[in-house]
């Protein structure tokens, strides 16, 4: 764990708490490899394992091998035997039991995805096999996606950023390319291990395993969450946590699924009700079959003069021609869909003002074939006085025509 991360980590679930205290049991050349982080206020503590602070409730993370290895050290420090237990012996359980099972499944499914596809988005050459010939896995695609899905191009120089839901860290690298001074890469699942491995020798990157519902990170002046909030089970709550940790005048970019037409929403709900209950080998097989269907649709579309088959097939039934995209879509335990007016309402309540959005006009309804696939919004955190003065829904400014074309 990087030493500088202590300036940004706080005890999860303890608003306005003091910074955590670190106790190292083992070091490597990158900092603390194994140890604990302790809340000086409550006495609760969390593991540092494989160089990553694991700031999760012990309902979600508890390593028996470290408990056995460092039992004597835990007693020497006067800490409770069970992590997440305060000085009075009260256990701090995951705040909502309805989300506990969901988050366990999310850790398992997305963790497996990002360990399986740990090189996705970093590739120098087009992938082979299931993903042959389709864009998405190259580094140039990642950089373009980051710019298009955050509107943060040329806005990150010298900033400390938060990658909220980092996966395998490809957008962390993109933020560094855009000029971030440091990046805190946070995720609920095992993608943090792929990210830490990727940036093991880059002092600018600090990796933390954390729950966005109790985000233990503060003191960043840029944040982005690309395709993550809708998988949490409560996108509004995660949005609020990220906004709360953002410095005044800081930037927050969010990318989420947009609510679609009635046919699409019905088909998606029916199919995902089945695919989310499959085991991982079955999900992989289904995703491979869907990728084959997607390639067939794309091939047929290329032969049509109007080129509408691919777009309309996608708008009724998710037909990506890429294995990774299908695994990501069909295996996610939950995936909620949202509208721009809804997200603008969250932002207004959180003291954020929109800089740029896509779509550029907030609408709840679209014609059957016209609904957007996703929504993107870039916000700036206002001063306290400005947020108090502006206590109403904010209409986003329309981007200049040149920016819209880009």
Q: What is the pLDDT, as a whole number, of residue 399?
A: 40
Residue 229 pLDDT > 60:
yes
Query: What mean pLDDT is predicted for residues 370-386?
Result: 85
Q: How far is CA 15 from the centre of its chain?
A: 21
What pLDDT is stored for residue 403 in this prediction?
34
CA distance 249 to 254: 16
* One domain, residues 220 and 358: yes
390 pLDDT above the threshold of 50: no
The total domain count for the chain is 3
292 shares its domain with 218: no
Per-residue pLDDT, 298: 83
Q: Are 30 and 51 in contact (CB under 8 A)?
A: yes
Please give the Cα distance from 378 to 293 (Å, whole number). Answer: 34
Percent of the chain with pLDDT over 90: 70
Q: pLDDT at residue 378 above 70?
A: yes
Helix ranges (H only) for 247-383 are 262-275, 280-302, 309-316, 323-331, 340-349
* 377: pLDDT strictly greater than 80: yes
CB atoms within 10 A of CB 397: 12
Same domain, 359 and 323: no
**Shared-domain flag, residues 226 and 142:** yes
Is residue 312, in this structure, part of any structural domain at all?
A: yes
**Which residues constitute the domain of residue 214?**
129-259+337-405
What are the pLDDT digits (tens) for 276-299?
999 999 999 999 999 999 988 888
Asked if residue 109 is part of any domain, the answer here is no
- Which three-class secondary structure state does DSSP give residue 85? strand
**Would you say 398 and 405 are in contact if contact means Cβ atoms under 8 Å apart?**
no
In the predicted model, what is the mean pLDDT of residues 28-40? Answer: 92
Segment of 45-59, 93-107, 311-325 carrying the highest mean pLDDT: 45-59
Residue 121 is assigned to a structural domain of this protein: no
> What pLDDT is recorded for position 277?
95
In tens, the pLDDT along 296-314 reads: 888 887 766 566 787 788 8
Cα 369 from Cα 42, distance rounded (Å): 54
Each residue of 87-104: b (16+ CB within 10 Å) or e? eeeeebebeeeebeebbe
Q: 27 φ, ψ to 5°? A: -115, 160
Between residues 70 and 80, which one has the greater pLDDT?
70
Structure-token match 């990658």, residue found? 163
Question: Which of these ranges, 127-141, 288-302, 375-389, 390-404, has the smallest mean pLDDT?
Answer: 390-404
Instruction: Judge if 72 and 8 occupy the same domain.
Output: yes
In this structure, the answer to whether residues 232 and 307 fall within a common structural domain is: no
Q: How many CA atoms lie within 13 A of 233 on its CB side?
A: 17
196 with 311, same domain: the answer is no
Query: Is 229 in the same domain as 345?
Result: yes
């Amino acid at each position: 764990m990087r030493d500088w991360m202590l300036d940004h980590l706080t005890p999860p679930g303890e608003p306005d708490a003091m910074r955590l205290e670190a106790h190292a049991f083992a070091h490597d050349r990158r900092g603390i490899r194994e140890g604990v982080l302790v809340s000086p206020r409550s006495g609760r503590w969390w593991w540092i394992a494989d160089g990553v602070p694991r700031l999760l409730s012990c309902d979600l993370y508890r390593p028996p091998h470290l408990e056995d290895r460092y039992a004597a050290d835990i007693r020497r420090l006067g800490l409770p035997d069970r992590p997440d237990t305060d000085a009075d012996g009260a256990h701090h359980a995951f705040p909502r039991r309805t989300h506990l099972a969901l988050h366990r499944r999310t850790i398992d499914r997305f963790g497996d995805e990002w360990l399986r596809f740990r090189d996705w988005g970093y590739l120098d050459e087009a992938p082979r096999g299931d993903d042959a010939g389709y864009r998405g896995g190259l580094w140039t695609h990642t950089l373009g996606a980051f710019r298009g899905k955050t509107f943060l191009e040329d806005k990150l120089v010298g900033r400390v950023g938060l990658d909220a839901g980092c996966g395998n860290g490809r957008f962390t690298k993109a933020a560094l390319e855009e000029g971030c001074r440091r990046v805190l890469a946070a995720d609920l699942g095992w993608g943090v291990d792929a990210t830490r491995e990727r940036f093991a020798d880059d002092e600018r990157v600090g990796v933390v395993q954390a729950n966005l519902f109790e985000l233990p990170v503060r003191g960043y002046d840029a944040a982005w969450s690309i395709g993550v909030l809708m998988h949490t089970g409560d996108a509004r709550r995660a949005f609020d946590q990220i906004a709360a940790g953002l410095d005044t005048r800081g930037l927050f970019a969010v990318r989420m699924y947009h609510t679609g037409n009635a046919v699409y929403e019905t088909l998606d709900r029916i199919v995902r009700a089945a695919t989310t209950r499959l085991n991982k080998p079955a999900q992989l097989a289904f995703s491979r079959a869907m990728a084959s269907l997607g390639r067939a649709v794309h091939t047929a579309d290329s032969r049509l003069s109007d080129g509408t088959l691919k777009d309309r097939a996608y708008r009724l039934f998710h037909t990506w021609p890429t294995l990774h995209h299908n695994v990501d879509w069909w295996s996610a335990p939950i995936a909620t869909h949202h509208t721009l007016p809804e997200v603008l309402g969250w932002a207004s309540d959180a003291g954020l003002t929109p800089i740029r959005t896509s779509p550029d006009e907030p609408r709840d309804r679209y014609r059957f074939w016209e609904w957007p696939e996703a929504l993107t919004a870039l916000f700036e955190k206002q001063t306290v006085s400005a947020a108090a003065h502006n206590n109403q829904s904010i209409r986003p400014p329309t981007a200049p025509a040149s920016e819209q074309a880009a």
